Structure 1
Amino acid sequence: MAGADDFARFAAAAAAAGYDETQVRDWPAAAVVDQHDHPFAVLARVVAGEMWLTAEGATRHLRPGDEFTLAAGQPHAERYGASGATYWVARRH
């Protein structure tokens, strides 16, 4: 997994782009999150494990180094791999 300096750079870049909150999210193996949405926009980077993100009728398989964005209110679903996943997320409220 990437180090603290890398997370600090991610957080700084996200803040410069208008995101007001950053955090590390860890998901357990084989977790499934049914379709939902958030009242904030999302910028995220997978740093460990793998996940599948379904949004707008398409599913993306995301691995370390991959990024994704979601608009506020955008419906999406998530599924995590056999080892779970960790990603850094920035939120714009």
Structure 2
Amino acid sequence: MGRTLDDWMAEAAAELGIDPAVDTKQLLDLARVVVHGVDRPAAPLTAFLLGWAAATQGGDAAAVTRAAERIAALAERWAAEPTEPA
């Protein structure tokens, strides 16, 4: 059997010297909302901002969850707003 996403997350975390206990489904859902509600390139950049925000606000899984919830709500608001014609 091949490597899994969970394997990647565990190995990448070990490489970075961190032990995140985060909800990967929540993070993937956030990326999906950002891709569809904002723009595809915004997903990895948003993940970066989320990590930075979580690090400055305690750095634990709860900080990640709080930041993810806030940014998901923002992306949903963006998706709901009408866009101006080009």
TM range (shorter): 0.3 to 0.5
Structure with the higher helix share, 1 or 2: 2
Q: TM-score, normalised by structure 1?
A: 0.34
Structure ranking higher on relative contact order (CA contacts 8 Å, 6+ apart): 1
Q: TM-score, normalised by structure 2?
A: 0.36
Of structures 1 and 2, the larger Rg is shown by 2
Structure with the higher strand share, 1 or 2: 1
